[in-house]
């Protein structure tokens, strides 16, 4: 079996060495833009160039080194029948839950006020947190959204979830489909986006959506930048409909140096780090799936090409 590793990592051996250990019978290749075809059975990819699909004609499946497959789906050269497999959790959901919890607690417990008070040497106690004032609405109830929902529900925050299809989760009030987006939004003060980027979710978070949130909304985007209409967020912040935004993903990454988000007093910017890909868990998951696929066993995480994720 031949496995081709295709990513921009300048040290591909960090991936291929453990991969060799887990797949001792496989021949492992690293993509060389100028090299000949290797006739790979499987490719492990992160944002490959279209040349991969022009050169490698024997691929049985490709494994994405991330949960989001939007950049792969956007490649016209991607063969329509090729099996595409996305990363499933692999240690990412716990990181996302932690990132979101941190941002929520910063706001709900007014931590910035206490930091200001410390600077002034002020000892002043504000009223205790009322969780019912911080209802959280999670867009997307995949593995990541569910983990976030569970974490916040365990801490007794009111949690709402919205997804394409019905979900039943303990402690979470779920809404499904475009028809139930309105009631979901009108319950939500803290909006968390974990949705994959598809034609349906592109530009979903626009002014029209933001104005339906509860007053003083906090918007946290850890999904994809293209799901958020940036000018509409700025307008909603200007008008006080949204009081703060925490953004980890952007339409253009890295975020351009002159982008207004950098300096905005009510926007926190992080450089797509809410969940880092963990090499060990990732390689283990993909190697296991390659073994299963090669052995004719079913694998999970196969992208439904009609849904786009």
Q: Which helix (H) or strand (E) holds 30?
A: strand 27-30
| Closest residue to bound ligand GLV by CB | 66
- The set of catalytic residues is 224, 272
Q: Interface with ligand GLV includes 144 (CB under 6 A)?
A: no
CB of 46 to ligand GLV, least distance (A): 9
Identify which range of 47-55, 65-73, 173-181, 282-290 contacts ligand GLV by CB under 6 A. 65-73
DSSP 23: -
Angle 279-92-87 from CA coordinates, rounded to 5°: 70
Tell me which of 66, 142, 145, 225 binds ligand GLV, using CB under 6 A. 66
In 23-121, alpha helices (H): 51-55, 70-73, 92-108, 111-119
Q: Is 68 in the site for ligand GLV (CB under 6 A)?
A: yes
Q: Smaller CB distance to ligand GLV: residue 68 or 183?
A: 68
**Positions 80 through 139 that interact with ligand GLV (CB under 6 A):** 87
Residue 40 interacting with ligand GLV (CB under 6 A): no
Q: How far apart are CA 79 and CA 81, in angstroms?
A: 6
Stretch that binds ligand GLV, among 63-71, 121-129, 198-206, 256-264 (CB under 6 A): 63-71
Chosen residue from 19, 23, 43, 67 binding ligand GLV by CB under 6 A: 67
- Decide whether 74 or 155 has the Cβ nearer to ligand GLV: 74
Nearer to ligand GLV by Cβ, of 69 and 210: the residue is: 69
> Which tokens sit at 206?
């626009």
Closer to ligand GLV by CB, 41 or 248: give it: 248
Closest-CA residue to 48 (of 38, 37, 63) = 63
Which region among 14-22, 60-68, 139-147, 257-265 touches ligand GLV (by CB under 6 A)? 60-68
Stretch in the footprint of ligand GLV (CB under 6 A) among 61-69, 122-130, 161-169, 300-308: 61-69
The C-alpha torsion from 178 through 182 and 183 to 185, rounded to 10°, is 110
- Interface with ligand GLV (CB under 6 A), residue total 4
| 83-85 vs 61-64, strand pairing mode | parallel
- Long-range own/partner contacts, residues 34-41 (CB < 8 A, 24 or more apart): 38/2, 38/4, 39/2, 40/2, 40/3, 40/4, 41/1, 41/2, 41/3, 41/294
Residues in contact with ligand GLV by CB under 6 A are 66-68, 87
């Amino acid at each position: 079996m031949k496995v081709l590793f295709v990513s921009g990592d300048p040290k591909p051996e960090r991936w291929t060495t453990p991969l060799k250990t887990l797949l001792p019978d496989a021949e492992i290749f690293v993509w060389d833009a100028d090299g000949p075809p290797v006739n790979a059975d499987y490719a492990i990819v992160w944002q490959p160039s279209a040349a991969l699909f022009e050169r490698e004609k024997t691929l049985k499946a490709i494994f994405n080194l991330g949960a989001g497959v939007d950049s792969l789906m956007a490649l016209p050269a991607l063969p329509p029948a090729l099996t595409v497999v996305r990363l499933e959790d692999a240690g990412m959901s716990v990181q996302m839950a932690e990132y979101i919890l941190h941002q929520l607690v910063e706001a709900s417990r007014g931590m910035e006020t206490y930091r200001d008070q410390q600077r002034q040497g002020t000892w002043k106690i504000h009223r205790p947190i009322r969780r019912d004032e911080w209802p959280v609405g999670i867009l997307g109830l995949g593995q990541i959204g569910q983990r976030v929902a569970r974490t916040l529900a365990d801490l007794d925050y009111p949690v709402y979830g919205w997804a394409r299809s019905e979900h039943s989760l303990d402690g979470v009030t779920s809404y499904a489909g475009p028809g139930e987006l309105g009631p979901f939004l009108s319950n939500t003060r803290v909006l968390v986006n974990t949705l994959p980027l598809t034609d349906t979710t592109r530009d979903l978070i626009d002014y029209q959506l933001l104005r339906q949130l509860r007053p003083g909304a906090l918007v946290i985007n850890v999904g994809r930048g293209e799901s958020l209409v940036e000018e509409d967020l700025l307008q909603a912040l200007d008008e006080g409909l949204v009081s703060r935004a925490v953004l980890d993903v952007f339409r253009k990454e890295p975020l351009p140096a002159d982008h207004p988000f950098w300096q905005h007093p009510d926007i926190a910017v992080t450089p797509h780090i809410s969940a880092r890909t963990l090499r060990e868990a990732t390689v283990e998951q993909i190697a296991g799936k390659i073994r299963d696929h090669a052995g004719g066993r079913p694998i999970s995480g196969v992208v439904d090409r009609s849904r786009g994720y």
